[in-house]
Amino acid sequence: MKKIICLLILVNVLITDLLSQVAGSDNCSSAPIQPNPTYLNGILKPADYSNEDGPVPLCPNGGKIHNIQWWGFTSNGGNVEFQVSSINCSNGNGLQFALLKNCNSANPIYCKSTCNEFGSTYIFSANLEPCEYYTFWVDGCTGDMCDLNFSVVGTIPDCGVSDPETINLDPDGIIETCQSTETNIFIPKIPISGIKYKWTLNNNVLTNKTNSFNYNFKTVGTFEICVNGFMESASGQVYANSEKTCASVKVKPAGKVILPNKFLCYDEVNPKPFKWFDNEITESGSYSRKYINSSGCEIEEIINIQVNPKPEDIEIWHIGSDNKDYYVDPFGKLITDCSKSYLFSKKNGNICSDYYSVKQFLPAFEGKLELSCQNNKLYFKPIIQNNSCFTTNEAKINYSYILKNLQDPKSEAIYSDNLLEVKNKATYTLFLTAEITYGQSTNTLSLNLGEENIDESLYINNGGVDIISKTLGAFTKANSSQSGHWKYVKGPGNLSFENTNKARTRVTGSAKGTYVLQWETKSGDCTFIDEVRIHLGMNNEDGKLKIPILINPLKNDGNTSLVKVGSEISLSELFKEESTFIAYWYTLEGKLISNSQSSNLIHSVISPKIPGLYILTIEGNNQVITRKIQVIE
């Protein structure tokens, strides 16, 4: 809408006879609404008391409120010229005034906030919208009391709300419907912006204010429904009405039919719903269907359906004989997923199905032996890793163990449910007996966990090692890689150690002869001893100590030699004279794998049984020879 078409300021004082005076209001929302602006022609005055119920600032470009008064009007629209002048001011400061659409002070049609213009006349035009609500306010500058001469030129029609058309566009004014049916009641919209509608049913006002709504007629009979259009301000003042139009509503009977109760099994609604006409039934409740009978009214059939709850699952606890012994259901299906419950249902002669929940425990165990020393005895404790697949972690397992000597099948098996006492180095088969209780099922399984090569030579007391040296000094090395210390037992003189806490260390004797030493190690509360005899200042002519040297063909060319696992390596090229020596096999990390001491019958060493890169160290004849050996399959 174009707000201001023209503004003309006249500076001469206009003196007008006072023909009328219209009372204003202290606020915009309660301003009385006139049928058109000509009803305000005459004198409008600000309040003779302080009243600041208005916009701040008064106009978008400024202005301070003092004693504001409000008037309202509507019209049938069109371009209207307004003429305003102030006269009879008490202190000569003049008036402020504005024309607003509704109470919208943010975007006034015209707003004067300047003062000190007493006697001036202002002329402005506005294009009014049909039946829109407008407000006009007056305020005295610094509280000045003046008469505002308000004048609208010409004849301006009142707001005219056209009459509504026939309800439901029914030409005879009789609307037929059925009992308890949502019936649409409407009239075409009246072409005025912001129009509202007043509906009455048998003279009772309905809450709906739109041109269309649905109404449910609960009782049979004939009703009168009427409507008229009206305009309403933001504060709820009705300032325009149309004529009223009415129609008769004839409500015909329609009924409900209650059907006998129906019972359903849980499996009749799961996994797919039970269909009752257009209803999908999954739970107990009241259901209905509607249809139109021959008289044109809707019939509603109502049925109460009781769905029996799912019966409690019958639990099946399956313990497999191994990790592939899966449960097979009554229908021949192999259930390979043991991580979650398997559910199935089956009719067992009853009307409704029974439900089953299968939980599986498929055993899978790994075991290893861990050294344990208690009360100066050597034990091995089985460490069991349970890799079983199970649905729920509810299995209770009691373990017991059996070690059977594979190298001596006639030897007595070793039984225990905790520690296994092993006295001999051998290869054993470790058997696990697992008594499994899983839910309501119990089963005892005997499982072969594989071979265990128990080499406790590091802990069983050594029978003695001989080392020969032509001088009074020699290097000694214990048969064990465990940490420990040297102890001098006996000999022809004093014996000094370079380091008593190193397994390989140099010793020096004070006299020629045989010295007995012990390398003592501890594991837990067990003590183990390797005994070593060192023959100092002796050679091949010293009687009993003539021990032939083992011969080695390995060349010292700086390269790694390749040998097969478990093969015999001749030592003929390494030693040219007979002598006692000890051969040690080490990993590259320095871990001792095995050792062997020469005798008159030994002419070679045997490579390790596991492929890898090793260090072979040979000590003898006052020298140490080291070679890098690659052991292959």
Greater confidence (564 vs 226) lies with: 226
pLDDT of residue 200: 95
556 found inside a domain: no
Q: Do 286 and 229 have their domain in common?
A: no
Q: Do 144 and 176 have their domain in common?
A: no
Of 405, 435, 454, which residue constitutes the final position of a domain?
454
Average pLDDT over residues 460-488: 75
pLDDT of residue 507: 93
Q: Do 47 and 142 have their domain in common?
A: yes
Residue-wise pLDDT for 503-521, tens only, equals 888 999 999 998 989 888 8
Greater confidence (612 vs 384) lies with: 384
Which residue intervals of 9-105 are DSSP H helices? none
pTM above 0.75, yes or no: no
Residue-wise pLDDT for 167-178, tens only, equals 999 999 999 888
Residue-wise pLDDT for 322-351, tens only, equals 889 999 999 999 999 999 999 998 887 767
533 found inside a domain: yes
Greater confidence (450 vs 515) lies with: 515
Average pLDDT over residues 306-314: 91
Q: Do 449 and 586 have their domain in common?
A: no
C-alpha angle 189-194-198 in degrees, rounded to nearest 5: 65
416 found inside a domain: yes
How many Å from the N-terminal Cα to the C-terminal Cα in the chain?
101
By residue range, what is the domain housing residue 232? 167-252
Average pLDDT over residues 557-567: 69
Q: How far apart are CA 307 and CA 560, in angstroms?
A: 82
Q: Do 264 and 241 have their domain in common?
A: no
Of 152, 175, 197, which residue constitutes the final position of a domain?
152
Q: Do 138 and 197 have their domain in common?
A: no
Q: Do 338 and 444 have their domain in common?
A: yes
User: In CATH, what number is assigned to the domain containing residue 35?
Assistant: 2.60.120.380
User: In CATH, what number is assigned to the domain containing residue 605?
Assistant: 2.60.40.1930
Residue-wise pLDDT for 366-397, tens only, equals 888 877 777 767 788 888 889 999 988 888 99
Q: Do 142 and 69 have their domain in common?
A: yes
The pLDDT-based confidence of 601 (bands split at 50, 70, 90) is: very low
Look at residues 184, 176, 171, 170 and name the one whose alpha carbon lies nearest to residue 221: 176
Name the strand (E) or helix (H) holding 399.
strand 396-405
3-state secondary structure 425-464: CEEEEEEEEEEEEECCEEEEEEEEEEEEEECCCCCCCCCC
pLDDT of residue 623: 67
Write the CB contacts of 172 (distance below 8 Å, at least 6 apart in sequence). none
261 found inside a domain: yes
Greater confidence (413 vs 82) lies with: 82
Q: How far apart are CA 290 and CA 182, in angstroms?
A: 13
159 found inside a domain: no
161 found inside a domain: no
Q: Do 450 and 571 have their domain in common?
A: no
Q: Do 447 and 365 have their domain in common?
A: yes
Of 125, 152, 179, which residue constitutes the final position of a domain?
152
Q: How far apart are CA 293 and CA 370, in angstroms?
A: 87
User: In CATH, what number is assigned to the domain containing residue 535?
Assistant: 2.60.40.10
Burial classification of residue 232, based on how many CB atoms lie within 10 Å of its CB (0-12 exposed, 13-18 middle, 19 or more buried): middle
Q: Do 420 and 333 have their domain in common?
A: yes
Q: How many distinct structural domains can be found in the chain?
A: 6
Residue-wise pLDDT for 52-107, tens only, equals 999 999 999 999 999 999 999 998 889 999 999 998 999 888 999 999 998 999 99
pLDDT of residue 148: 92
388 found inside a domain: yes
2 found inside a domain: no
pLDDT of residue 3: 36
Q: Do 124 and 11 have their domain in common?
A: yes
Q: Is the peptide bond before 363 cis (omega within 30 degrees of 0)?
A: no
